Amino acid sequence: MKKNNIQPKPCQLVIFGGTGDLTHRKLLPALYNLTVQDLLPEGFVLVAIGRRDKTSKSYRQEAYKSVKEFSRLEVDEAAWWSLEERIYYQRFDFREDPGYLKLNKFLQEMDEKYQTKGNRIFYLTVAPDYFGVIVDKLETHGILKNASSTWPRVVIEKPFGHDLKSARHLNDKLTRVFSEDRIYRIDHYLGKEMLQNIMVIRFANTLFEPLWNNKYIDNVQIISGETAGVGNRGGYYERAGALRDMVQNHMLQLLTLTAIEPPGDLETESIRDEKVKVLKKLADFEPDKIDDFAIRGQYGPGYIKGEKVFGYREEERTSPESNTETFVALKLFINNWRWAGVPFYIKTGKRLPKKSTEVIIEFNSHLHPDYLQDFTSLEPNLLVIRIQPREGVYLQFNGKEPGSRQKIIPVKMDFCQNCQIGTNSPEAYERLFYDIMLGDQTLFTRWDEVEYSWRFIDKLSRAWERIKPDFPNYAAGSKGPKAADELLVKDGRKWWEI
Ligand code: BG6
């Protein structure tokens, strides 16, 4: 993943929410993996901030345990020590002033010690209600004043708002203090190897791009299923639901990358401009006809891998009468020259039979008429970009069955990226951290992307609010509500299961 071996400049990373789940499961292991790959700058300091009573020593011990448990690379003690000695913990309530005074002094001392020259990254993985308070206090206490042209930087975890209004409010607070070129809005899907590969597959191959339009593509399916339920995140999820939790961000990112026009160059803003154009062209819809293109579901009790699991309404911190959706299927259109008439089907849900994310391109069946007459069971050509857990590309086409006179069967070419020995793709957060340190915003969401995606999602959720759903409507471990299958059957199509 080294970008031509560029070493980031020395910097300090300050994590607000340093004791949280995301920090332990994802951020600390990612930083450790960057250490092993020699991708952290020599002058690097991590300051974790939390409200719990800990010392840097006890925090380091906990961090070590998390890295042991969650790192993709084996833990090498020497590599760990070299990171560990640069980790510090500061305890304070980030709503109160005294902590910021202490933090300011501490960061100045670290600047001296590690020659970090005021290069600071503030990573906010706390409830969004606190984003505004934190950035205001950082500014008031002069913690941002060592600014150069691109530092300090601020990193914001999702959710970026609950709807367009709250997202705007949040953005206003941020931009009062940080300019857009210093704001890194995380969508961790953009850090996944195969998402970055979508543009390469499209624009670095003569084979695919000429066919990438409505003349040759019948439909596109973007599917992301999970076997997990909401776990202990019921409190958050009750207000979010699958539409806000997965579709507004990850699924729409997958859609824009699949659908964008070739950018004029590969500069950050050129790519982001093209992504926004796709979102702007999402076809409008009549709220009264929402059932024709949007299906929602909520899981009831069922079985996952043979084990009985609760329904959503019985999960921790959810209401027994909850109408929050845990499943969404959509049929979308993009109103532009390339995609007019091509449905983009999106499906995502919790407690589905398998964890997997794929983009499936189904091509038209333009065949020799004689083949069409004789072989009624011909399959269309499919190109599948496998995002996770298996990463790769799968191509299905028709061939003659060996030994038969003329029998046609679907055959496949299957490139598996992470099955090859020695291939262990970087975790999304490794790439994202590395890019933040380099100041590359390509894999982060620009404000107008957020804005246009919320416009679309708000309209959908308003239409849904008017109708009471009949939940739960699918059993945990099943394929989701029947209506989601019917959505495609009505169009003479089916969801592909590869
Ligand atoms: C998160 C959502 O953004 O993405 C979770 O909040 C979801 O609900 C997760 O489970 C899925 O991410 P991944 O990388 O496991 O596909």
Q: Is 439 exposed, middle or buried (0-12, 13-18, 19+ CB in 10 A)?
A: middle
The pLDDT mean for the chain works out to 94
What's the DSSP call for residue 152?
S
In this prediction, residue 148 has a pLDDT band, given cuts at 50, 70 and 90, of: confident
User: Can you tell me which atom of ligand 1 is nearest the CA of 233?
Assistant: 8
CA–centroid distance, 120 to ligand 1, in Å, is 28
CA–centroid distance, 297 to ligand 1, in Å, is 18
- For ligand 1, atom 14: residue with the closest CA: 189
What pLDDT, on the 0 to 100 scale, is given for residue 147?
Answer: 64
As annotated, the active-site residues are: 250
What pLDDT, on the 0 to 100 scale, is given for residue 423?
Answer: 63
Residues 6+ apart with CB under 8 A from 269: none
Would the pLDDT of 3 be above 60?
no
User: Can you tell me which atom of ligand 1 is nearest the CA of 249?
Assistant: 3
Residues 6+ apart with CB under 8 A from 408: 371, 375, 378, 398, 399, 400, 401
In this prediction, residue 373 has a pLDDT band, given cuts at 50, 70 and 90, of: low
What pLDDT, on the 0 to 100 scale, is given for residue 6?
Answer: 84
In this prediction, residue 424 has a pLDDT band, given cuts at 50, 70 and 90, of: confident
- For ligand 1, atom 4: residue with the closest CA: 246
**Nearest Cα residue to 255 out of 364, 393, 361:** 361
- Rounded Cα distance between 134 and 127, Å, is 11
Ligand 1 site: residues with CB under 6 angstroms? 158, 226, 245
Residue with the two structure tokens 């300051």: 47
325-345: average pLDDT: 98
What pLDDT, on the 0 to 100 scale, is given for residue 4?
Answer: 55
- For ligand 1, atom 5: residue with the closest CA: 245
| φ, ψ (nearest 5 deg) of residue 319 | -85, 145
In this prediction, residue 406 has a pLDDT band, given cuts at 50, 70 and 90, of: confident
Contact 72, 29 (CB under 8 A): yes
Ligand 1: which of 250, 253, 351 to mutate, most ligand atoms within 8 Å of CB?
250
CA–centroid distance, 16 to ligand 1, in Å, is 20
Domain range list for the chain? 11-157, 190-423+447-489
What pLDDT, on the 0 to 100 scale, is given for residue 146?
Answer: 66
Would the pLDDT of 70 be above 90?
yes
Cis check: omega of the bond before 426, within 30 degrees of 0 = no
Tokens of 381: 């050509």
pTM of the model: 0.95
**Nearest Cα residue to 33 out of 444, 422, 431:** 431
Q: Name residue 397's beta-bridge partners.
A: 411
What pLDDT, on the 0 to 100 scale, is given for residue 96?
Answer: 94
Would the pLDDT of 94 be above 80?
yes
pLDDT in tens, 268-285: 999 999 999 999 999 999
What pLDDT, on the 0 to 100 scale, is given for residue 494?
Answer: 97
Would the pLDDT of 2 be above 70?
no
What pLDDT, on the 0 to 100 scale, is given for residue 296?
Answer: 98
Helix, strand, coil share of the chain (percent; to 5): 40, 20, 40
334-345: average pLDDT: 98
Fold match, 11-157 / 190-423+447-489: no
User: Can you tell me which atom of ligand 1 is nearest the CA of 350?
Assistant: 10
- For ligand 1, atom 8: residue with the closest CA: 245
How many residues are given for the chain?
A: 498
User: Can you tell me which atom of ligand 1 is nearest the CA of 228?
Assistant: 10
CA–centroid distance, 372 to ligand 1, in Å, is 42
Fold of the domain built from segment(s) 11-157: Rossmann fold (3.40.50)
Q: Which helix (H) or strand (E) holds 450?
A: helix 447-465
What pLDDT, on the 0 to 100 scale, is given for residue 420?
Answer: 76
User: Can you tell me which atom of ligand 1 is nearest the CA of 237?
Assistant: 8
Ligand 1: which of 188, 253, 357 to mutate, most ligand atoms within 8 Å of CB?
188
- In this predicted structure, which of 157-166, 236-245, 405-414 has the lowest mean pLDDT? 405-414
* CATH class label, 190-423+447-489: alpha beta
Buried b (16+ CB within 10 A) or exposed e, 155-174: bbbbbbbbbbeebeebbebb
CA–centroid distance, 243 to ligand 1, in Å, is 12
197-218: average pLDDT: 95
Cis check: omega of the bond before 152, within 30 degrees of 0 = yes
CA–centroid distance, 164 to ligand 1, in Å, is 21
Q: Which helix (H) or strand (E) holds 303?
A: strand 302-304
pLDDT in tens, 465-487: 999 999 999 999 999 999 999 99
What pLDDT, on the 0 to 100 scale, is given for residue 132?
Answer: 93
